[in-house]
Chain A
Amino acid sequence: MDWGVVLSNLLHDTIVFSTALIFAALGGMYSERSGVVNIALEGMMVIGAFTGAVVTYFAQDTFGGLAPWIGFLGACIAGAIFAAPHAVASITFRADQVVSGVALNFLAVGLSVYLTKIIFHGAGQTTTLQQVFGKWHIPLLSDIPILGHAIFEGYPTSYIAFALVAFSWYLLFKTSFGLRLRAVGEHPRAADTVGINVKRMRYTAVLISGALAAMGGATISLTTTSNFSHNTVSGQGFIALAALIFGKWHPMGAMGAALFFGVAQAIKSLVQIFGLTKYVPTEVIFMLPYVLTILVLAGVVGRSSAPAALGKVYETGSR
């Protein structure tokens, strides 16, 4: 067995599996940093996976190789639209943010499969897409042994995700927008006092959240699965939520956690290939991200601190 090849494949798969999680965890970060709980990440990913697949399906005959990009953009817009009810309910109408999120998770699966059946004449999944994202082979760099295949032969979505991590870090910690976003999530009253529009800030954050999470969903349907069905996302939104918490609501941390959960998934396929399931049941690997999240939260593996005003409704002018 060539361990170099194994390692290279493992790294490669890790990045592929992590990409969707990075998008969604970043999305969750914007919303929760502004003080709005977002357990609807799963639903937002579902809407993204669905819209990405459907838009690409209708665009592929006319636009060819450009179609997945149009689908990806469509998913981004649909995600923001889908997040709007959550923003309206939890910011304007002071609804319980958890319940509203639960409702959206429900709605996403129901609505997307309902629409799929209408568009594809009763079929529970979209027709396999002819045009999906191809892998980019970065010249020269992809010739590097081991790392070349692992890092420089990836889907364009992966590079976008990593760029967004850097961008989000910059935005959050180096710009006044980021300062305001964090202020609104930590101490809305103080933010209000200095003239920051708390509600508008939170609206913006929740819509960004929906757009990013949906891009994560579209990543799945436009790279690995090439179609959309009810189990395309299957719980990855919840893993992204776990990654966000594991990563302490920090873009780099969230990326690190997403990569870690990506490794768990990559090992899973590796374990199956090498017939190691006799020693490590796949279920144990499936459970790992969730168990670790609980351990992190319980303070066994480092402490995690949420934005102070997370989940708290803010009334303008209240004290």
Chain B
Amino acid sequence: MNRVIAIFTKESFLVPVAAIILGLLTGAIAMLAGGFNPVKAYASLIEKVFGNAYNFGETIRQITPLIFTGLSVAFAFRTGLFNIGAEGQFIIGMIASTAVGISVDLPWYLHAPLAVLAGGLAGGLWGAIAGWLKAARGVNEVITTIMLNWIALYFANYILKAFYVAEGQQRSDMIKDSASISFAWLSQMFDSARLHWGTLLAVLAAVFFYVLLWKTKSGFELRAVGLNPNASEYAGMNVNRNVVNAMFVGGMFAGIGGACEILGVFHYQSIMAAQPGYGFDGIAVALIGGNTPLGVVLGAILFGILTFGAAGMKFGAGVPVELIRVVISSVIFFVAAHGIVKFFIKPIWKKKEGGH
């Protein structure tokens, strides 16, 4: 029991929780300033998510890509890299799986896995570009991944227009049924919410993340490089190769996430006017989750609930859905500046200790 208490009073747990509370408070202040009732708004958010089977299912759909992009950012982070590029890797995963889903003709047990794999591979290679640039040319991955996000967006649109979109259309044809990963009977249980096998894959990916990093030799190397590249180099590890590998694996997670959106949710790809945003949310998810697999899953659940429930806030309390972006950004901000959070929780902390 004491161990359980120890976990819940640890700083690595308290800071994210305090950041979430401060984020929700910031949102509440913004709502009060706009003349809305924050209590009613948050209640409607919860009502929206848990009120009926369909919405609950759709929330799970919303959470799934966030697990993937969260893992993507967290994995790179573990090796000392900042992957702002989950967005681009996600998009590249989408277009690769669309291509395989439309162009290839195979029985379902080969087609669907191949389409998912194509997405993962393409996303991985896209991530590896930034990894290679860092390893071979010493280019900071933060800037390259931001640039690669935009390149991915336009590149995907170009491929769509060149090969998969009829003149004047804004979206591709449907992927073949054999490539679909929709989970039919589960969908029916949730009033045809768009549930798919990708959710299971996301959980497996989190397990894979854990096993790879903490149970294998290459995982040990990746973490060692993340903690101290110089010492790792001295210990005979190939730091550059690890950087490329880490970005590849991170990109692969995001790429599979993108593939699952196409193969499980939409079954076609649209020409994008802007970034879909899952990659950026992934940064928040990874930060909140302390870059651990379990933390990422929990963080994704929180952000999935917030983003999907935002529509409920609009309906129940008239609050514009954009407010949830204010909440999310405040949470990221407070996690980043955990000094501020500690500043807030310190007085409470002191009081508690004084009481003993």
Q: Which residues of A contact B (CB under 8 A)?
A: 37, 39, 85, 88-90, 92-96, 98-100, 102-107, 109-111, 113-115, 117-118, 122, 231, 234-235, 238, 241-242, 245, 281, 283-284, 286-287, 290-291, 293-294, 297-299, 306
- Taking CB atoms and an 8 Å cut-off, the chain B residues in 153-176 that contact chain A are 154-155, 157-158, 161-162
Interface residue B335 (Cβ < 8 Å from any Cβ of A): yes
- Beyond A102-B332, A114-B320, A234-B274, whether A297 also contacts B151 by CB under 8 A is no
Residue B150 at the A interface, CB < 8 A?
yes
- Name 8 A/B residue pairs within 8 A (Cβ), A-sorted: A39-B84, A90-B337, A94-B339, A102-B280, A118-B34, A238-B146, A241-B143, A293-B143
Instruction: Assign chain B's interface to a size class.
Output: 35 or more
Complex Cα gap A211–B58 (Å): 41
Q: How far is the CA of A84 from the CA of B317 in the complex (A)?
A: 31
Is B351 located at the chain interface by the 8 A CB criterion?
Answer: no
Contacts of B280 in A (CB 8 A): 102, 105-106
Confirm or deny: B144 has a beta carbon within 8 angstroms of a beta carbon on chain A: yes
CB of B79 to closest CB in A, whole Å: 16
**Across-interface contacts of A290 in B (CB, < 8 A):** 147-148, 150-151
Q: Beyond A290-B147, A290-B151, is A298–B330 a contact (Cβ under 8 Å)?
A: no
Which of B161, B274, B324, B326 has most A Cβ within 10 Å?
Answer: B326
In the assembled complex, the CB of A126 is this many whole angstroms from the nearest CB of chain B, namely 14
**Contact yes or no, B323 A114, CB < 8 A:** yes
Chain B residues, CB < 8 A from A100: 333, 336-337
In the complex the two chains form, is B30's CB within 8 Å of A114's CB? yes
Are A291 and B151 within 8 A (Cβ)? yes
Chain B contacts of A102 at CB under 8 A? 84, 280, 283, 332
**Known contacts A104-B329, A114-B326, A118-B34; A95 and B339 CB within 8 A of each other:** yes
Q: A106-B280, A294-B148 are in contact. List 8 more A-B contacts (CB 8 A).
A: A85-B333, A95-B337, A100-B336, A103-B329, A110-B323, A110-B326, A110-B329, A238-B147
Chain B residues positioned under 8 Å from A89 (CB to CB):
333, 336-337, 339-340
Check B326 against A93 for contact (C-beta < 8 Å): no
Bound Cα distance from A239 to B24, whole angstroms = 32
Residue among B137, B273, B332, B339 making CB contact with A106, cutoff 8 Å: B332
Within 8 A of A (CB), among B29-56: 30, 34-35
Q: Are B333 and A104 in contact (CB under 8 A)?
A: yes
- Residues in A with CB closer than 8 Å to B333 are 85, 89, 100, 103-104, 107
